[in-house]
C-alpha cells in the first residue's frame, strides 16, 4: 500500500496517542482521578475503532452512538423545541425559573429522568461532571451569563439568538469559545438549510456581481413596545423565581398582566420581555440574526463603520419603538472563500467586496388600534419591490433583497432558506433551483446532512443535530453558526439597538469597541451586571 503523506501523518498521530495512553512507570505527577466525560467518549471510541478496524477507521470519526448528557436552561417557548431537538441524547437536567407554567408540566413529564432546577447556578454546581452540553433559551439579557458559566466548565453550548445582549458579551463568548476550543452553535436554524448555503456560495462566487445595497425587513414587533414602565407592583407567583428571572438586569418590581393578557402574556414574562430594553433587543434581536444571515455570510459583511437608526413614534428609556429604519454602512473588505478542492498549500481564495449599505426595516407607523401597535407599513421603497409584487402578488412581511450590479437575489422568508434570482435582462424572478445561471456554480459549502431531502434541510432539529455530532467528533468548525460566525452577526444587530437607544448616528471603532464622540453609548456596549449574575 502506498504510504501517502496524509496517512503517514495519521499513523504518527496514532502512535503518539497510544504512547500517551500507556501508564508511565514513574509518573512525575499524580494521574487524574476523573476523566472528562466528553474526552472519554471521544478517546474511547477512537481507541476501540483503531483496535477493531485499524488506523483507517480514524477517518470515519468517532462513535456517534455514544449519547451526550444535555442540560437545558429555559424550557418554555423556544426552549421547548431546543430541548426536544436534543431528545435523542440524554436530557439529564431541566432548568426554568417558573415551575407553574404549562411548559414545566409538559417537559418534566416528557423527560422524567431529568432533574429540575430553577437556578442555573445550582444546576451547574450540583451536576457539573454529569453534563456534557447546555442549551440556553432564556430572555436575551441572560444568554451570555448562563453560557459563560457553562463554558467555564468546558461545556459545549447551544445559545438562542441573539447570541448576547451587548457587544462586549458577544466578543467575550467568541474569545472564550476559541480559547477553550468548545463546540458552539447559535440558534438561527435557517443556517442549516440547503437554500441558505446555496445562496451564500453562489453570491460569494459572483452570481450577481458586486453588491452595493441590501434591504431586510420584518413584521416584528408582534409584542408590546413603545411603553413606559408600569407603576406599582403585584405579588410574585409562588412558582416563579423573580430574582433569577431578573438576573443581570437592575431589579424592578414584578408586574403581572395589566391588560397584556389580551396579547397572550404578562407585562414581562413569559414572552413580552422582548420589547423591554433591560431584557430584550426588540425586533432586531428577535429576527435580525435570521433575516440578515444570508447577506452577512454571502457578502462577508463583518462589522459596520456607521449605523444610523430612525425610530417610528415614541422612543423612551424603557422599551423599543413600534418601528424603526436603520442604515448600516460597511466598508471595502476581503473575504476568504474555502476552495472546493483545497490543497495543502492553497486552501482558500480572496474575494474583494465593494462598500455596501444595508437597510433594516421593522414594524411600522404607530397605530394604537392595531393589535401590535403599528400598521406594518415599514418596507423598502415601492420601486425596489415591484418585481416582488409581480412574483408573489404582495410584499411578504419578512424578506431580504440583495441588489448586485449583475442581478438581484430575493429571499421571501424569515430565515433565508430559499431564494429567487433575477439577472440583468431577465423579465422576472426565477427560483434558484430553476435558474440556469445558478446551475453554473458548483456546490462547495458542506450541506447539513440531518435535515431531510436535498433542497430542503434547515429547521431546529437539523441545526441542533449538527451541533450534537460536532460535540461527539470534537470538531467545533463543523457548526455553521459557531460563535466565530454568530458573534459578529449579533454585533451588527446590537449596534442598531445602540443607535436607537442613544438617538444618535454611531461611528463605530471596532478595534477600540467604542462609538466615536458618543460616550453615552458605552453603557449599552458593556453593561453593569447585577451582583451574582456576571460573566464567568
Q: What is the pLDDT of residues 16-51, one digit of tens each?
A: 544 444 443 333 333 333 345 555 455 444 443 333
Q: How many alpha carbons lie under 13 Å from residue 371 in its C-beta half-sphere?
A: 7
Q: Is 473 exposed, middle or buried (0-12, 13-18, 19+ CB in 10 A)?
A: middle
DSSP assignment of 253-274 equals -----TTGGGGTS-SSTTTGGG
Residue 49 belongs to a domain: no
Is 111 within 8 Å of 94 (Cβ atoms)? yes
Confidence of residue 53 (pLDDT cuts 50, 70, 90): very low
In a domain, 8, yes or no: no
Compute φ and ψ for 154, nearest 5 degrees.
Answer: 65, 35
Examine residue 345 and state whether it is found in any structural domain, yes or no. yes
**Is residue 187 included in any domain, yes or no?**
no
Render 291-359 in DSSP notation, one character per residue: HTHHHHHHTT----SEEEEEEES---SSB--SEEEEEEEE--EEEEEEPSS--SS--EEEEEE--EEEE
Give the lowest-confidence range in 177-181, 246-250, 448-452, 454-458: 454-458
Count of Cβ atoms closer than 10 Å to residue 449 Cβ = 12
- Residue 336 in any domain: the answer is yes
| pLDDT exceeds cutoff 80 at 451 | no
What's the domain range around 390? 194-225+260-446+484-525
290 pLDDT band, cuts 50/70/90, is very high
Domain for residue 338, yes or no?
Answer: yes
| pLDDT tens figures, 157-188 | 999 999 999 999 999 999 999 999 999 999 99
Average pLDDT value over all residues in the chain: 88
**281 in Cβ contact with 493 (< 8 Å):** yes
Contact assessment for residue 226 and residue 320, using Cβ atoms and an 8 Å cutoff: yes
Residue in this structure with the C-alpha cell 415599514, named with its chain if needed: 378
What distances in angstroms separate CA 49 from CA 4, 23, 45, 416, one per listed residue?
A: 21, 21, 6, 39
CB atoms within 10 A of CB 18: 11
Domain presence at residue 201 = yes
pTM of the shown model: 0.88
CATH code (residue 404): 3.30.360.10
Strands 184-186 and 323-330: unpaired
Q: Is 224 helix (H, G, I), strand (E, B) or coil?
A: coil
- 42 inside domain: no
pLDDT digit string, tens, across residues 61-105? 345 568 999 999 999 999 999 999 999 999 999 999 999 999 999
**Predicted local distance difference test score (pLDDT) of residue 64:** 55
Instruction: Quote the number of domains for the chain.
Output: 1
Identify which has the larger pLDDT, 244 or 17. 244
The pLDDT assigned to 37 comes to 54
Amino acid at each position: 500500500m502506498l504510504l501517502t503523506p496524509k496517512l503517514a501523518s495519521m499513523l504518527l498521530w496514532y502512535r503518539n496517542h497510544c504512547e500517551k495512553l500507556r501508564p508511565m512507570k514513574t509518573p512525575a505527577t499524580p494521574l487524574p482521578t476523573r476523566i472528562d466525560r466528553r474526552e472519554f467518549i471521544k478517546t474511547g471510541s477512537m481507541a476501540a475503532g483503531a483496535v477493531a478496524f485499524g488506523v483507517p477507521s480514524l477517518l470515519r470519526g468517532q462513535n456517534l452512538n455514544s449519547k451526550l448528557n444535555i442540560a437545558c436552561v429555559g424550557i418554555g417557548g423556544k426552549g421547548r423545541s431546543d430541548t426536544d431537538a436534543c431528545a435523542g441524547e440524554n436530557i439529564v437536567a431541566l432548568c426554568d425559573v417558573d415551575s407553574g407554567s404549562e411548559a414545566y408540566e409538559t417537559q418534566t413529564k416528557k423527560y422524567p429522568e431529568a432533574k429540575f432546577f430553577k437556578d442555573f447556578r445550582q444546576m451547574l454546581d450540583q451536576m457539573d461532571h454529569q453534563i456534557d452540553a447546555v442549551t440556553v433559551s432564556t430572555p436575551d439579557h441572560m444568554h451570555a451569563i448562563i453560557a459563560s458559566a457553562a463554558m467555564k466548565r468546558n461545556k459545549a453550548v447551544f445559545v438562542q439568538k441573539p447570541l448576547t445582549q451587548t457587544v462586549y458579551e458577544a466578543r467575550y463568548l467568541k474569545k472564550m469559545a476559541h480559547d477553550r476550543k468548545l463546540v458552539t452553535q447559535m440558534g438561527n436554524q435557517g443556517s442549516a438549510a440547503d437554500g441558505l448555503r446555496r445562496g451564500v456560495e453562489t453570491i460569494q462566487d459572483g452570481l450577481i456581481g458586486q453588491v452595493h445595497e441590501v434591504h431586510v425587513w420584518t413584521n416584528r414587533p408582534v409584542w408590546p413596545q413603545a411603553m413606559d414602565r408600569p407603576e406599582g407592583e403585584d405579588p410574585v407567583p409562588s412558582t416563579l423565581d423573580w430574582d433569577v428571572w431578573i438576573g443581570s438586569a437592575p431589579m424592578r418590581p414584578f408586574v403581572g398582566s395589566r391588560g397584556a393578557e389580551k396579547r397572550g402574556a404578562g407585562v414581562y414574562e413569559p414572552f413580552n420581555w422582548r420589547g423591554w430594553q433591560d431584557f430584550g433587543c426588540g425586533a432586531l434581536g428577535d429576527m435580525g440574526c435570521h433575516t440578515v444571515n444570508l447577506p452577512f455570510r454571502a457578502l462577508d459583511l463583518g462589522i459596520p463603520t456607521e449605523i444610523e437608526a430612525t425610530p417610528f413614534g415614541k422612543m423612551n428609556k424603557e422599551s423599543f419603538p413600534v418601528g424603526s429604519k436603520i442604515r448600516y454602512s460597511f466598508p471595502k473588505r476581503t473575504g476568504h472563500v474555502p476552495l472546493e478542492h483545497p490543497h495543502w498549500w492553497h486552501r482558500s481564495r480572496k474575494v474583494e467586496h465593494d462598500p455596501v449599505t444595508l437597510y433594516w426595516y421593522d414594524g411600522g407607523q404607530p397605530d394604537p388600534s392595531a393589535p401590535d401597535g403599528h400598521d406594518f407599513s415599514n418596507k423598502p421603497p415601492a420601486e425596489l419591490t415591484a418585481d416582488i409584487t409581480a412574483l408573489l402578488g404582495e410584499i411578504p412581511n419578512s424578506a431580504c433583497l440583495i441588489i448586485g450590479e449583475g442581478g438581484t437575489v430575493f429571499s421571501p422568508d424569515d430565515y433565508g432558506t430559499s431564494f429567487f434570482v433575477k439577472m440583468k435582462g431577465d423579465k422576472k424572478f426565477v427560483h434558484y433551483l430553476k435558474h440556469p445561471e445558478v446551475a453554473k456554480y458548483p456546490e462547495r459549502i458542506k450541506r447539513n446532512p440531518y435535515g431531510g431531502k436535498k433542497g430542503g434541510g434547515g429547521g431546529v432539529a437539523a441545526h441542533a443535530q449538527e451541533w450534537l455530532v460536532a460535540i461527539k467528533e470534537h470538531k467545533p468548525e463543523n457548526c455553521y453558526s459557531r460563535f466565530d460566525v454568530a458573534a459578529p452577526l449579533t454585533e451588527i444587530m446590537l449596534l442598531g439597538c445602540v443607535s436607537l437607544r442613544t438617538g444618535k448616528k454611531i461611528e463605530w471603532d471596532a478595534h477600540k469597541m467604542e462609538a466615536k464622540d458618543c460616550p453615552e453609548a458605552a453603557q449599552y456596549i458593556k453593561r453593569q451586571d447585577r451582583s451574582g449574575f456576571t460573566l464567568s
